[in-house]
Amino acid sequence: MLPPISPLVFVYFALASGSAFPQVAQNQQIQVAPPMRQIVSPPQEASAEELEKQGDEYRAQKQHLDAIDYFRAALVKAPQSASLYNKIGISELMLQRPRDAAKDFEQAIKRNPKMADAYNNLGVSEYIRHKNGAAVKQYKKAITIQSDSASFYSNLGAAYFAKKEFEHAAESYTHAVQLDPQIFEHTSRTGIAAQVTSPADRARYDYILAKIYASAGDRDHSLEFLRKAIEDGYKDLNDAYRAPEFADLRKDSRFADVMKQKPPVIPE
């Protein structure tokens, strides 16, 4: 997983690395620090496997420039490795080089057209550059290959949300929650699964998640996001009294307590 992010523009993403990088299909947020480089250059006598392993270690230490050096040295000895190109792309993203990362993910796909992670990560590189239609296309390709990834659906939802296609976003987020009920619990610690460009969009994002969790019978998370929607000033909050998704939640005394927090309307 995860992208940076104008006034209230937050970005989260889940990258997929295949193996060594924690689910980058696990959710991580990019925290950009000044690039650092170790002194030791990749040894020419090392095997591709040894170089890749050292690259993985550097990446785990957030030494992404060194990781790229070692992965590229490994590529010299294993030029058809889709995994190496995918890992290089992830490090490029961590260094905020989405254009370069996209080229590496494309090379990974060229070598392995069935590599779902590479399509997902290419989608991330498009998403970071606000090419949300292209991101949707890549996420869908990833899902076609691997339909059981909550991260892929979460990313797809983020791209739809950025396009303001809120119904499609809700559908994608619903699939994500069905596959991993804790998917947004992860993101709450690492960022927001959408490019949120205004307070109104942020509030809508929270409200959509509240409805999704209510439909799933998860009252705690639904109330949490409903509270956030109120705090962020969601304008159509009265919908919660009518929406069928909240029918069961409305029986919970906590629902009324949360709704009491609704801020007074200030005349324009």
DSSP per-residue string spanning 158-178: HHHHHTT-HHHHHHHHHHHHH
* Kind and range of the H or E run holding 28: strand 27-28
State the CATH architecture for 13-165: Alpha Horseshoe (1.25)
**Which pair of structure tokens corresponds to residue 103?**
């080229």
* pLDDT category of residue 186 using cuts at 50, 70 and 90: low
Amino acid at 237: L
pLDDT digits (tens, 9 = 90+) for 195-204: 555 788 889 9
pLDDT given at position 15: 58
Mean pLDDT of 132-144: 97
Structure tokens at 246: 């909240």
Helix (H) or strand (E) holding 139: helix 132-145
**Is the pTM for the entire model greater than 0.85?**
no
N-terminal to C-terminal alpha carbon distance within the chain: 42
Torsion of CA 201, 207, 213, 214, to 10 degrees: -160
d(CA 210, CA 205) in angstroms, rounded, equals: 9
> Could you tell me the pLDDT band of residue 32, with boundaries at 50, 70 and 90?
very low
Half-sphere exposure of 40 (CA within 13 A, CB side): 10
